[in-house]
Structure 1
Amino acid sequence: MPHATTDDGVKLYFEETGSGTPVIFVHEFAGDMRSWEPQMRHFGQRYRAICYNARGYPPSDVPAQSSSYSQARAADDILAVLDHLGIEKAHVVGLSMGGFATLHFGFRHPTRALSLTVSGCGYGAELDQQEKFKGEAQASARMLMEGGMEKFAHHYGYGPTRVQYQNKDPRGFAEFVTMLAEHSALGSANTQLGVQGSRPSLYTLVDQMRALTVPTLVLTGDEDWPCLQPALLMKQNIPSAALSVMPNCGHTINIEDPDEFNRLVGAFVVQVDCGRWPMRDPRAVSGSITGMKS
């Protein structure tokens, strides 16, 4: 079974397909590498497509202590997979928890990223929502440890930004909930405590955003309410960032509308590979509204 080993000895299971420029996919909390199947099949026809299970998600290792999980480790685990595969640079594509990891990978290891796709990134980011989000992460961890994974999946899976997927594709949504119920309760609880509930607010990272020059695509669904304002924050402050909002979509955009997701990410990656991805023109952020002096 292929795996990469992190600097703290955790084994991460991965799969790959195709050849060419590497693209690595980083999954969300409620998903795993199987969530990227539409992207692995699509991008694997054109690129070396790679996905892996985060720590806490079997068949990757499930460290017993929540101290083994953090936002920094989530970003560095991407690096561990790339290092194991001997990949110097890759396009990094993440959703939600994976989107946060992708953004932090750009902060921590910018020379190893060809580009960053930061999608569905923003849960709990707004400063006035931090305590509420941390409380919900702790409640999730308690439910996982006391009620088990199946009970949790049938609660968490029907959240306010996932019902869009259920309404659009009941069969795909049922598969998503079934796969969520197969996760490790311990690994999921520790991820809630060590990663989700402990990560810094995006609003405290503006200086790091302004220093980021890696080509970046920010993606969100227009009904992914917790991610809309944070998406604007990243667009406004990352000088290499573009923002795309997918219509009538909730949180799980890569499987809710895989064709549109693949189209947007594919066009972005091609433009980066052609050397045509722009930095923001300073004239676009002048103090004037129209360009005319009053």
Structure 2
Amino acid sequence: MDTAPRDTAYVEAAPGVRLWTEQRGDAGAPALLLVMGAQAAGLGWPEPLVDALAEHHRVIRYDHRDTGRSTWSYEQAPYRIADLAGDVVAVLDGLGVERAHLVGMSLGGILTQLVLADHPERVLSATLLGTGACSTTPYTAPDGTRAPVEELPGVDPRILEEWARSVEDHGLEAELDRRVRHWQLLNGDHIPFDPDWFRELERGIIEHTGRYDTSGAHARADQSGLVRTEALAATEVPTLVLAPTAEPVFPLPHPRHLAQVIGGARLVEIPGMGHALPPAVLGPLADAILGHTRTAS
């Protein structure tokens, strides 16, 4: 049961850009900021996971630009992916948080790495999942062979095919069908997929947003200037890399590479997990995150 108090507020990230935020849990507890993936609103972090984390933390989640209730601004004022990392700091500033534990998934993992490299004084710890490294350091396999980053495995072809499809407006239920189909591919082939659970998740996000279209802004945003090889190698911020064993977007060995390039990082596997947050992984995920933040604190 959700008993943690909630508080919502808007913070200004840039002139004319406001970000919707939600806080849950004890205001005096160490802050933990959840950073979601591309085109994903903050409600993409499932309620049971947020509640579990809020038992020990002041949990903050927010809507990226062009998602949820935050400003949809890309068409009028295009921005860079790096600007979205600035938004992470803007959320902390706007809510009066000096330092926080950061948890980043997918694009959120990229943004978390940028903050970890550029603003380590704001980060108590970092947890990364479903993401690639902002580093040009080659991957070293267990047998000692080295592979350039560009030679690591790519996205599952079935997902690339889905991403290549044009998104057409055929009404709310058809859009929900499309999103559920997408989640089924991201879920991977190991954990049973519950379409009804993901449909209700997306229905809640659409109700929160007040519209069911997507802007595609994050796919079009400038991706230059994301490499932080030296800063990540030198960081002293405690960092946990979670390795979903059935990850179809950043498949193994991407998490192992990520753990290699970040100074002092630890690697923990989440068996069967893909690039989604179904109920079966929420308990292990919460345990891993809380174990890391407890140790880091």
SS at match of 2:116: helix
How many Å separate the matches in 2 of 1:249 and 1:238? 22
Asked if 1:266 corresponds to 2:290, the answer is yes
Match of 2:24 in 1: 17
User: 1:18 Cα shift?
Assistant: 1.5
Which amino acid letter does the alignment assign opposite residue 224 of structure 1?
E
Asked if 1:218 corresponds to 2:245, the answer is no
SS at match of 1:61: coil
**Contact 2:123–2:237, Cα closer than 8 Å, also in 1:** yes
**Contact 1:120–1:220, Cα closer than 8 Å, also in 2:** yes
Q: Pick closer, same or farther for the CA change 1:102–1:244 going to 2, 3 Å.
A: same
User: 1:128 Cα shift?
Assistant: 5.2
The worse-fitting range, judged by mean Cα deviation, of 82-91 and 173-182 is 173-182
Identical columns (%): 25
**Contact 1:31–1:179, Cα closer than 8 Å, also in 2:** no
Q: Pick closer, same or farther for the CA change 1:122–1:157 going to 2, 3 Å.
A: farther
Pairing of 1:243-262 with structure 2 (within 5 A): 243-253=267-277, 255-262=279-286
Alignment match of 1:189 (pick from 216, 222, 241): 216
Alignment match of 2:101 (pick from 77, 91, 100): 91
Which amino acid letter does the alignment assign opposite residue 293 of structure 2?
V
Q: Pick closer, same or farther for the CA change 1:173–1:58 going to 2, 3 Å.
A: closer
Alignment match of 1:115 (pick from 114, 121, 125): 125
Q: Alpha-carbon deviations, 1:59-84, whole Å to 9, x = none? A: 11100428533221111111111101
SS at match of 1:58: coil
SS at match of 1:46: coil
User: 1:170 Cα shift?
Assistant: 3.6
Pairing of 1:1-294 with structure 2 (within 5 A): 2-19=9-26, 20-29=29-38, 31-36=40-45, 37-65=47-75, 68-122=78-132, 126-127=149-150, 140=163, 143-144=166-167, 154-155=177-178, 157-159=180-182, 160-164=185-189, 167-179=192-204, 188-194=215-221, 198-199=222-223, 205-227=228-250, 228-253=252-277, 255-273=279-297
User: 1:167 Cα shift?
Assistant: 2.4
How many Å separate the matches in 1 of 2:279 and 2:49? 9
**Contact 1:2–1:13, Cα closer than 8 Å, also in 2:** yes
Give the TM-score taking structure 1 as reference length. Answer: 0.76
User: 1:271 Cα shift?
Assistant: 0.3
Which amino acid letter does the alignment assign opposite residue 115 of structure 2?
F
**Contact 2:35–2:103, Cα closer than 8 Å, also in 1:** yes
Q: Pick closer, same or farther for the CA change 1:186–1:35 going to 2, 3 Å.
A: closer
How many Å separate the matches in 2 of 1:99 and 1:28? 8
Q: CA RMSD in A?
A: 3.5
Which amino acid letter does the alignment assign opposite residue 112 of structure 2?
T
Which runs of 5 or more structure 1 residues have no equivalent in the other structure? 274-294
User: 1:6 Cα shift?
Assistant: 0.8
How many Å separate the matches in 2 of 1:249 and 1:82? 30
User: 1:166 Cα shift?
Assistant: 7.6
Q: Alpha-carbon deviations, 1:186-211, whole Å to 9, x = none? A: 753112211xxx43598x54333212
Give the TM-score taking structure 2 as reference length. Answer: 0.76
User: 1:30 Cα shift?
Assistant: 5.4
Q: Which has the higher helix share?
A: 1
User: 1:44 Cα shift?
Assistant: 1.6
Which runs of 5 or more structure 2 residues have no equivalent in the other structure? 1-7, 136-148
Q: Pick closer, same or farther for the CA change 1:166–1:268 going to 2, 3 Å.
A: closer
Q: Pick closer, same or farther for the CA change 1:88–1:181 going to 2, 3 Å.
A: closer
